[in-house]
Amino acid sequence: MATITFKGTPIHTSGELPAVGSTCPDFKLTGADLADVGLSHFAGKKKILNIVPSLDTGICQMSARRFNEEAGKRPDTVIVNISADLPFAQKRFCDSEKLSHVVNLSTMRAPDFGTAFGVRIVDGPLAGLMSRAVLVLDRDNKVVHAEQVPEIAQEPDYDRALAALASA
């Protein structure tokens, strides 16, 4: 269980992120077309898993924009935004922002994702949503960077994530 904060108040997650050096667990999440999507859909690519509480919040939107900007420069990389938002809402946000270099996946049919990845918030006003976290995976799905952002209202450390991606 990790302790993070929401506007300065301590809250807790269901566990810990997958460790650097471990193989990322596979998952089955829902894509924009309502099809199941897992890590195998991105075989041979480096991946940034941008896990967020909701794309309807400012900080989550900023991270999606920033990673979209970076993804456009890296054809060997896929940026995956993961949230509990419905695929329709995810698509609406990305269409309105013209974010074309990210893949959005929803946990709508996979409530166990948050627990398996240690990011499900277990208490406080955001209980049931996911914490803000970033995992960077190499082409073989080995975790090369893991960041559990300590404050929900804080952006992730983009520079560290991108540096890990560059060396993966």
pLDDT at 79: 94
Does residue 78 lie in a domain region? Answer: yes
For 1-57, the pLDDT digits (tens) are 899 999 999 999 999 999 999 999 999 999 999 999 999 999 999 999 999 999 888
For 71-117, the pLDDT digits (tens) are 778 999 999 999 999 999 999 888 888 888 899 999 999 989 999 99
For 135-154, the pLDDT digits (tens) are 999 999 999 999 999 999 99
Does residue 151 lie in a domain region? Answer: yes
Does residue 121 lie in a domain region? Answer: no
**CATH code of residue 63:** 3.40.30.10
Catalytic residues: 60
Does residue 7 lie in a domain region? Answer: no
Query: Contact at 8 Å (CB) between 115 and 14?
Result: yes
Does residue 71 lie in a domain region? Answer: yes
State which residues form the domain around 45: 21-109+131-167
Does residue 90 lie in a domain region? Answer: yes
pLDDT at 70: 85
Q: At 113, list the tokens.
A: 């994702």
pLDDT at 15: 94
Does residue 29 lie in a domain region? Answer: yes
Tally the domains of the chain. Answer: 1
Does residue 114 lie in a domain region? Answer: no
Q: At 99, list the tokens.
A: 């974010």
Read out DSSP for 39-93?
A: GGGGTTSEEEEEE-S-TTSHHHHHHHHHHHHHHTT-TTEEEEEEESS-HHHHHHH
